[in-house]
Amino acid sequence: MKRIPDPDRQVAYLAYINRENEFQHHGYSEEMKQYRLMQAGDPQAVEEGQRMMRRTMPVGLSEDPLRNAQYLFVAGITIATRFAIEGGMDAETAYNTSDMYIRKLDQCRDVEDVMALHREMFAYFTSRMAGVKKKKEYILPIAQCVEYIEAHLHMSLRIDELAELVHLSPGYLSVLFRRETGKSFSDYVLYRRIETAENMLLYSDYTSTEISEILAFSSQSYFIQCFRKYTGMTPKEYRQRHAAKGILAAARKAGEAGWR
């Protein structure tokens, strides 16, 4: 690929074209508002994000309108991911969320598809940040355990392994864990796996069988049994009932008590 000849001249030419078309990039503070709202878990972030996305469309990163919108989406989700991490979201979760939506971007067939995905992405990040803001601050060993659990939901988890990690006896860690989280270790792990399964059913194309395997359930039947116990529905029923409402549900939850 050839280098851009005389970049300074090219930048000056773009500035000239923008002036001729009476276009001016919005200010930094105005652009950052949407991300600060998202970081705070404020549901206004969704509409602000949509407003700014539409205002940015004339930038013209590509002559193809769809590709232009896709470039803007990638730029936006990159910034949103960094704001989410700075706001307290687990970094691996934030990066995986970004990867998931960027892969989904390939399925967009027109600009409005990109706008709809952008709304969904902003709603999801906002709702997760609302949950982060309301999370209880645990004592150090429990915080370390919770962080470890979040990063290893795809693996078998045993309390004796975590006890070794935080240098406590399994019995004492069990007592501390229940006192801090309100749940036993095994109940907490199952609760987080079901929450993650709910998100995957709403925001990914994974099948129920694939989700059960990814989240280390011993069998598909056990996954369905646990899922029904927590939600009152099978995974298939949950996806059918809520998938179409995913965007609105995420936006609504951003103003409530955070992600379940």
Residue where a domain stops, chosen among 134, 153, 184: 134
**Is the residue at 1 inside a domain?**
no
- Coil vs helix vs strand at 259: coil
Alpha helices for 26-64 (secondary structure H): 28-39, 44-56
Mean pLDDT of the chain: 82
**Is the residue at 259 inside a domain?**
no
**Mean pLDDT score, 74-103:** 89
Most confident of the ranges 58-72, 122-136, 151-165: 151-165
Q: In the numeric block, which tokens belong to residue 28?
A: 């930094």
Residues 113 and 188 in one domain: no
- Please give the Cα distance from 97 to 180 (Å, whole number): 28
pLDDT digits (tens, 9 = 90+) for 218-254: 999 999 999 999 999 999 999 888 765 544 444 444 4
Residues 147 and 127 in one domain: no
- Note down the domain range covering 171: 140-253
Say what the pLDDT of residue 188 is: 94
Whether 256 shows a pLDDT value over 80: the answer reads no
Collect all residues with Cβ–Cβ distance below 8 Å to 181 and sequence separation of at least 6. 136, 138, 142, 146, 188
Say what the pLDDT of residue 205 is: 78
pLDDT digits (tens, 9 = 90+) for 146-190: 888 988 888 999 999 999 999 999 999 999 999 998 999 999 999
Residues 52 and 93 in one domain: yes
**Is the residue at 21 inside a domain?**
yes
**Is the residue at 258 inside a domain?**
no
Residue % of the chain over a pLDDT of 90: 47
Q: How many domains does the chain have?
A: 2
**Is the residue at 185 inside a domain?**
yes
Residues 61 and 100 in one domain: yes
Say what the pLDDT of residue 150 is: 84
Per residue, the 3-state secondary structure of 139-162, as one string, reads CHHHHHHHHHHHHCCCCCCCHHHH
Residues 109 and 150 in one domain: no
Collect all residues with Cβ–Cβ distance below 8 Å to 132 and sequence separation of at least 6. 41, 87, 88, 89, 258
Say what the pLDDT of residue 157 is: 94
- Please give the Cα distance from 18 to 169 (Å, whole number): 66
Residues 41 and 128 in one domain: yes
- Please give the Cα distance from 207 to 215 (Å, whole number): 12
Q: Place 86 in a pLDDT band, splitting at 50, 70 and 90.
A: confident
**Mean pLDDT score, 38-44:** 87
Whether 202 shows a pLDDT value over 50: the answer reads yes
**Is the residue at 3 inside a domain?**
no
Q: What is the CA radius of gyration of the chain?
A: 22
Residues 36 and 119 in one domain: yes
